[in-house]
Amino acid sequence: MHRKLPMPVRRRTAVTLLGAALALSFLPGQATAAPEPATRAAAVPTNDDVVISQRLQTMVRPVLTAVAADTNVRALVRTIAARQSDGDTNALLSTVVREAEESRIVNPTDPRWVALKSSITQLADVNGFAYHPQVYIPNLDEGIVTSTSVVVAVAPADETLNAIPGYVLNSSGQVQQTPTAIDEAYTDTKEVWVLSANEPVTTNPTAALRPVALDEAGPGALATCNPTGARNDKGLEYLQKWRVPNRGEFGGWFEGKREMRAIILTTTGVTIRTIAFPGIKKKYIDRWQNSDIFITTWDRAQWGDVLGYQWYEEDGGPEVAIGVSIPFSGGTINANVKWHKRDDNGGSAAVMFSESTYLEYNTGKVSFATCSQGGDGGTGYDNFARTGIASASSTYPGYSPARVNDGSANTSLGGSYSWANNAGTYPPGSPEWVQVDFGVDKTFRRVVVYTSAGYPIKDFDVQVWNGVTFVSAASVRNNTALSTTVVFGTGARTSRLVRILGLSGPTHQAGFVRVNELEVYAA
């Protein structure tokens, strides 16, 4: 099932393509002087993308003559771009100027160099905002063939174009248009320098909301979702994966990586968080990206039963406020969000608590899927311990606390199946423990403890954390069974930590307590 809730799309001007039109007016192979600003033949436009493209067009000659034609500066540009300091193979021209002059590989008074520095300032004020020109070298990180004769192109205002003019210096030092236009296939194997405006790098401003213990897997590793696809109250909600099915969305190949963003909203229009995903190349964006980003603990009393996902692709510019409306069954999420003037609207979709996490959502531009983990009661992983983090007071070499919540109730003896305390820490004089931390409070009443064949744990307490200390909720003595179910006679407990406090191992080896599996249930 797909939910398709398209939003009005802000598309860049695709009619006034003055810079690109000017470039294409040159005959193939014809030598010409540096391209002239298109504003000479038209009124000054107000669209930032058109203005930027026009001014970048006038930078073609300075970049070819002062940068691309110089062996040392050319190498410096590639070095700076290869750093990927902003996540893409870009070299800010201001950085090139600074490092070239610091390295003394240029003459700062050379007219060509002075012209380059002067041309950079043209983007310092575009309708009141400062943009930063750069050289973007597609696929520099994928083994393209570099050349002494660099092809320079200009990112056009029309982001739907698939091919754009290329320029080189001929043997007479004049700017000459390449015989054929430059397309994406060309850049897969050959070097092209695309002049464009740098797009900002945004860090995730709400990363602190992510629980550290559950975030260690990182991008690319999928969280273990409730197998039924159902959500539980106070379960952990993840944005599991996303993709852009149409690779042509959000600009052409000349724009570099796609910087996708998602704003997560409540039914009252409150932003829970804004997610900044790592940049993805256009040619890969139609593949599923396993982001596995923690969104929130879905507490229905706090967030309600609907979350809105508003997507956009970041291109930069001054910050603007945008009103969005995200319809859902029974209402609409209305909110004011902020992104940048040149950013592209990626559409929106509503995710309802009652919907299966196997559902794939589609905004009309972006497809994504969610994941729910744990929570109170209901279906899914009823065993709360399964998604927690296990630790212990000590561990015998070859054994591991992680065995107690790995989902296997195998009671075989050995470190492949069990946790056991280390030697020299013998109970009952020094009680040993193993515990599971759910990360959030759970309400539970029943605990099942599995131990090792031939070496059952004899005496133990089931303890819970009350916010100050551990208290015993139940005690088991003289146990000989390999599986012991404990139901709290005093009623359910609410805690984020459950501990098995081992007081004694079996009679023939009292100094070692073993737990093969710990299960925790609501009832």
- Cα end-to-end span (Å), the chain: 33
CA 402 to chain centre: 28
Same domain, 250 and 278: yes
Q: Choose the final residue of a domain: 373, 406, 438.
A: 373
Inside any domain, residue 404: yes
Inside any domain, residue 411: yes
Mean pLDDT by 10 residues, the chain (523 residues): 37 35 34 36 60 94 94 95 90 96 95 95 92 94 88 92 93 91 93 91 43 32 65 86 92 89 94 90 91 87 94 92 94 94 94 91 96 64 83 95 92 96 82 90 92 96 93 95 92 93 94 95 83
Inside any domain, residue 378: no
CA distance 307 to 493: 29
Helix or strand or coil: residue 54?
helix
CA distance 449 to 481: 10
CA distance 376 to 301: 13
Same domain, 290 and 393: no
Inside any domain, residue 66: yes
- Which residues does 162 contact at the CB level (< 8 Å), separation at least 6? 183, 184, 252, 253
Whether the Cβ atoms of residue 433 and residue 514 lie closer than 8 Å to each other: no
Beta partners for residue 233, in sequence order: 376
Q: pLDDT value at position 16? A: 32
Q: pLDDT value at position 4? A: 36
Q: pLDDT value at position 221? A: 42
Inside any domain, residue 110: yes
Inside any domain, residue 260: yes
SS3 string, 138-156, reads CCHHHCCECCCCCEEEECC
Whether the Cβ atoms of residue 289 and residue 218 lie closer than 8 Å to each other: no
E strand map for 186-248: 192-197, 235-243
Same domain, 325 and 442: no
The total number of structural domains that make up the chain: 3
Same domain, 208 and 326: yes
Nearest CA among 326, 508, 312, 515 for reference residue 415: 515
Same domain, 115 and 137: yes
Beta partners for residue 293, in sequence order: 239
CA distance 505 to 460: 9
- Taking CB atoms within 8 Å and a gap of at least 24, the contacts of 104-111 are 105/70, 105/72, 105/73, 105/76, 106/66, 106/70, 106/72, 106/73, 110/66
Inside any domain, residue 77: yes
Q: Choose the final residue of a domain: 149, 169, 197.
A: 197
For residue range 48-67, list pLDDT tens digits in order. 999 999 999 999 999 999 99
Same domain, 87 and 153: yes
Inside any domain, residue 240: yes
Same domain, 208 and 193: no
Beta partners for residue 6, in sequence order: none
Buried b (16+ CB within 10 A) or exposed e, 315-329: bbbeeeebebebebe
Beta partners for residue 361, in sequence order: 3, 368
Q: Choose the final residue of a domain: 197, 215, 235.
A: 197
For residue range 279-306, list pLDDT tens digits in order. 899 999 999 998 888 898 898 888 999 9
Instruction: Identify the domain containing residue 460 by its residue range.
Output: 384-521
Same domain, 208 and 165: no
Same domain, 365 and 391: no
CA angle 157, 163, 164 (to 5 degrees): 55
The CATH number for 220's domain is 2.60.40
